[in-house]
Amino acid sequence: MAAYILRRLLWGLVLLVLVSLLTFVIFYVLPSADPAQLRAGRDASPATLHEIRVSLGLDRPLTVQYWTFLRRLVLHADLGYSYFSGASVGSLLLDRLPATISLTLGAVVVWLVVAVPLGVVSAVRRGTWVDRLTAGGALLGISVPVYWLGLVALYLFASDIGKVPLLPGAGSYVPFSKDPWTWFTSLILPWLVLGSTFAAVYARLLRGNMIEVLSEDFMRTARAKGLSERRVVWRHGLRAAVTPLVTLAGLDVGLLLGGAVLTETVFGIPGIGRLNYDSITHADYPVIQGTVLLAACFVIVANIAVDVAYAYLDPRVREA
Amino acid sequence: MSALEQPSPAAAEPVLRVEDLRVAFDTREGLVQAVAGVSFAVAPGRTLGIVGESGSGKTVAATTAMGLSRGPRVRISGRVLLDGEELLAASPERLRALRGAQIAMVFQDPLSALHPLLRIGDQIGEAVRAHRSDASRAAARARAVELLEWVAIPDAARRVDAYPHELSGGMRQRAMIAMAIANEPRVLIADEPTTALDVTVQRQILALLRRLRDDLGMAMVFITHDLGVVAETADEVAVMYAGRIVEQAPAHELFAAPRHPYTWGLLRSMPRLEAPAGAALVPIPGRPPSLIDPPSGCRFHPRCPYVRERHREVEPALEPVAGALGHRVACLLSEAERRALWARLAAGATPEQARAAVGQAAPAAAPPAAEPPA
């Protein structure tokens, strides 16, 4: 298992280099704003522009630029400095990471707490009003864009602009270390919004798996043993139905840790996604590269974690 | 087995008694009458073999007796008595308490019947703890090891932590059996327990089931499509066709003097060492009938080589065979005719030859042509 994980990690590194190259190419090949121009401000003289270009290393050939970036990253773990603010990209990412992690983990809790019971109950009672209601809710959750849902939530419940001012609105996020209570309340709306869109999808997926599992022979065996119906469904059934979903959930968590761009933007949460969004509007290449690489890292690690978890959850996979 | 030579149906009071059991499933295509009035009884220490093709209703009858086929689209009537207690009317909670404790079941394919993600020991321990809430996890585990040893799984202390896929087919079925007998039930229903196994393993499993039945004094219901397996296991045999019992007899009597044309067909389609040389295996023509719209009269008439006009209208009842204790048959042919026909068949004649020799006129329509559309 250790050798397997090591091999996967090495492949992950190769993938990261490819991702960084792709990000680099896309930034320079596709039309984008001139970073020097943005940094110099309006009406800068050509001399100033040139000076900035030289200082940022933008005058050198692209291959050299990429090589320099890669060397600094590998040798010094240095992602460079923001064209826009001059801050080190590494420190920017570290600053933003706690907000993204807070958002993601809370959303995961919401989505599991909602999706698992809904999925199981609508499978066991399929065709009843519970099932139809969750089907409708899920359809809504799947089809509605998360930013729209976020705006509606703010419009309804935010303490500043909401019709029923219940919860802190956009831009109210404070770090946990500063004020845990405000941290918590400010994240409730984003958690619910982000979590419910995932919950909708997962409830439906779980329902589908569960319906299949309910007709399995081993469920009949469990009943024949004299187990209570609750135990048959929630232990024997759920265990089998939820396992395939772990893969998907792991990958989704990895993606979210890379930044829930839309949710963070709508709610003004200073996370990785928001940083990514801002860096793109500022043509801030080093920060774009940093956020993209971080997201790629999370996805790669999530992939490996999911495979390991799956081997743990399904003993049949272990030997394979 | 001495029990075979001296059948004594009245030796003990039956522990499981099924009376006029009817089970129908309400489907989109119509009402499927899977079991249409079936009665049988099994005494402790005895084995009843239920034989029939797939779709004959044998599994449905058994799962219904276990209370496992209840549902909004299932219509059940009749009586199932376990030690005199009526099960069809029992509350779900009462049924749950009896299942796995008083009446247990072994299923056909242990790979799909065991939970693939749970350890064998946990699955067995669960069966123990379901009926003994005071049993600790450790006690249940110790009991699981003991049970695995009992069903002759080598190295039980280690195998208790194995997952089903880590065991061979025979071992899995042994584990399944260990789970079923965890609470030393009074009735064990074995539903095709050897069908998914290869022949040498089949014999071992049959021997194991016989041993356990004798050790525990269980009444056993053995469901199979394989008459050879029944010959080895059962004291009494019920042959099912299209949801009914068409013939029922002590095992030796059934093999020596079968009385129903369907049983003849089953026997002739089974390879036997004592069969006359050159006697070919003869499949029964046609297919099992639709249970939504079963044939009128005798349900076997569309496939019966000896069918007469009257058999299409009159429904035969399961009636005692004169002079044969405990032998009952549902057939409209006369006893003399049946005896004569079987004598020819047993000597190697084809159904046509037998029919001609007995002087029976050819049926109005060739039997397979009357087969209902599948």
Q: Is the pLDDT of residue A43 over 90?
A: no
Q: Which is nearest to B235 in space by CA: B26, B34, B14?
A: B14
Contact B247, B216 (CB under 8 A): no
Contact B301, B220 (CB under 8 A): no
Q: Is the pLDDT of residue B159 over 50?
A: yes
Helix (H) or strand (E) holding B106: strand B103-106
Contact B78, B22 (CB under 8 A): yes
Q: Is the pLDDT of residue B6 over 50?
A: no
Is A226–B116 a contact, with Cβ atoms under 8 angstroms apart?
Answer: no
- The closest CB to that of A218, out of B68, B114, B130, belongs to B114
Neighbours of A253 (CB within 10 A): 21
pLDDT value, residue B113:
94
Q: Is the pLDDT of residue B369 over 60?
A: no
**Closest Cα of chain A to B259: distance in Å?**
36
Residue B237, beta-bridge partner list = B49, B249
pLDDT tens digits for range B352-362:
888 888 876 55
Q: B37: number of CA atoms within 13 Å, CB side?
A: 6
Residue B119 makes CB contacts below 8 A (sequence gap 6+) with B160, B161, B162, B163
- The closest CB to that of B100, out of A226, A231, A239, belongs to A226
Minimal-distance CA residue of chain A relative to B166? A316
Contact A176, A106 (CB under 8 A): no
Among the residues of chain A, which ranges form H helices?
2-29, 35-40, 46-56, 62-76, 89-124, 129-143, 146-157, 180-214, 217-224, 229-231, 238-257, 261-266, 272-281, 285-313, 315-319
Residue B350 makes CB contacts below 8 A (sequence gap 6+) with B282
pLDDT value, residue A47:
86
Helix (H) or strand (E) holding B173: helix B169-180
pLDDT value, residue B363:
54
Residues of chain B with Cβ-Cβ distance to A243 below 8 Å are 117
Q: What does DSSP assign to residue A76? A: H
Q: Is the pLDDT of residue B7 over 80?
A: no
Is A220–B68 a contact, with Cβ atoms under 8 angstroms apart?
Answer: yes
pLDDT value, residue A319:
63
pLDDT value, residue A168:
85
Higher local confidence (pLDDT), B283 or A12: A12
Neighbours of A71 (CB within 10 A): 11
CATH architecture of A97-319: Orthogonal Bundle (1.10)
Instruction: Tell me the mean pLDDT in the region A104-108.
Output: 94
* Neighbour-count burial of B68, counting CB atoms closer than 10 A to its CB (0-12 exposed, 13-18 middle, 19+ buried): middle
The domain segmentation of chain A, as residue ranges, is 2-76, 97-319
Is A220–B112 a contact, with Cβ atoms under 8 angstroms apart?
Answer: no
**What are A303's two structure tokens?**
């992939």
- Residue A77 pLDDT level (bands cut at 50, 70, 90): confident
Instruction: Tell me the mean pLDDT in the region B282-299.
Output: 84
Instruction: Tell me the mean pLDDT in the region B65-78.
Output: 91
pLDDT value, residue B360:
65
**What are A45's two structure tokens?**
């003289």
Q: Is the pLDDT of residue A16 over 60?
A: yes
Per cent of chain B over pLDDT 70 is 90
Helix (H) or strand (E) holding B190: strand B187-191
**What are A85's two structure tokens?**
């603010």
pLDDT tens digits for range B74-112:
999 999 999 999 999 999 999 999 999 999 999 988 999
pLDDT value, residue B3:
42
Q: Is the pLDDT of residue B5 over 50?
A: no
Is A226–B131 a contact, with Cβ atoms under 8 angstroms apart?
Answer: yes
Higher local confidence (pLDDT), B60 or A25: B60
- The closest CB to that of B117, out of A221, A229, A315, belongs to A315
Phi, psi of A6 (to 5 degrees): -60, -45
- The closest CB to that of A228, out of B96, B116, B118, belongs to B96
- Residue B144 pLDDT level (bands cut at 50, 70, 90): very high
Is B96–A227 a contact, with Cβ atoms under 8 angstroms apart?
Answer: yes
DSSP-derived secondary structure for A214-225: HTSHHHHHHHHT
Q: Is the pLDDT of residue B59 over 50?
A: yes
Q: Per mean pLDDT, which range of A206-210, A308-312, B108-112, B214-218 is the poorest?
A: A308-312
DSSP-derived secondary structure for B44-72: TT-EEEEE--TTSSHHHHHHHHTT-S--T
Q: Domains of chain B by range and CATH?
A: 12-240 (3.40.50.300), 259-370 (no CATH)
What residues in chain B have their Cβ under 8 A from chain A's Cβ atoms? 63, 66, 68, 92, 96-101, 104-105, 107, 109, 112-118, 126-127, 130-131, 163, 165-166, 176, 179-180, 182
A183-190 long-range CB contacts below 8 Å, 24 or more apart? A183/A102, A187/A102, A187/A103, A187/A106, A187/A269, A189/A150, A189/A153, A189/A154, A189/A157, A189/A158, A189/A267, A190/A103, A190/A106, A190/A107, A190/A150, A190/A263, A190/A264, A190/A267, A190/A269
**Closest Cα of chain A to B151: distance in Å?**
18
pLDDT tens digits for range B228-277:
889 888 999 999 999 999 999 999 999 999 999 999 988 888 776 565 55
pLDDT value, residue B188:
97
Q: Give chain B's mean pLDDT.
A: 88
pLDDT value, residue B277:
59
Instruction: Tell me the mean pLDDT in the region B200-210.
Output: 93
Is B163–A243 a contact, with Cβ atoms under 8 angstroms apart?
Answer: no
**What are B126's two structure tokens?**
């669960």
pLDDT value, residue B13:
87
pLDDT value, residue A258:
85
Q: If you count residue pairs, one on A and one on B, with CB atoms under 8 Å apart, how many are there?
A: 78
Q: Give chain A's mean pLDDT.
A: 88
Q: Per mean pLDDT, which range of A210-214, A245-249, B139-143 is the poorest?
A: A245-249
- Global confidence as pTM: 0.83
β-strand pairing of B219-224 with B47-51 = parallel
pLDDT value, residue A34:
75
pLDDT tens digits for range B21-43:
999 999 998 999 999 999 999 99
